[in-house]
Amino acid sequence: MSERDNIPLCPVSGWEVGIVSSLRGVIVRFKILTSALQTPEESQTTQTFVLTATQARDLAASLVDKSHLTESGGPEGAGFPKH
C-alpha cells in the first residue's frame, strides 16, 4: 500500500460465527480493538454480518489464500484490489 492508501486498521481480537436457519445464512461478528490502549477484554463487537453459504466459502478460501501469502512473504503492501 502506498502512503496515499493509508487505511485506519482495527485489529481483530476474536469473532463469533453462527447460522440463521430461516435465512439459510452464516452470521459473523468480530471483536475489534479501536484503540492502541485497549486490551482484548475491552474489545468492541461489530454489527452482525450475514453471508450466503457461497459467500462464506469464498471468504474462507480468500482468507486461507491471503494467510498463505503472508506466511510465504508474498507481495508486500498489496492491500485491497482496485475495482
C-alpha–C-alpha distance, residues 46 and 28, integer Å:
9
Q: Render pLDDT for 50-83 as a digit per residue (tens, 0 to 9).
A: 999 999 999 999 999 999 888 887 666 556 555 4
In angstroms, rounded to a whole number, what is the distance separating the alpha carbons of residues 15 and 8?
A: 20
CA-based nearest residue to 28, from 59, 69, 67, 61: 59
Q: What is the pLDDT of residues 29-47, one digit of tens each?
A: 999 999 888 999 999 999 9
pLDDT reading at 24 higher than 70: yes
Given a cut of 70, is residue 15 above it in pLDDT?
A: yes
Average pLDDT over residues 4-13: 83
Residue pair 27/49 in contact (Cβ under 8 Å)? The answer is yes
pTM (2 d.p.):
0.73
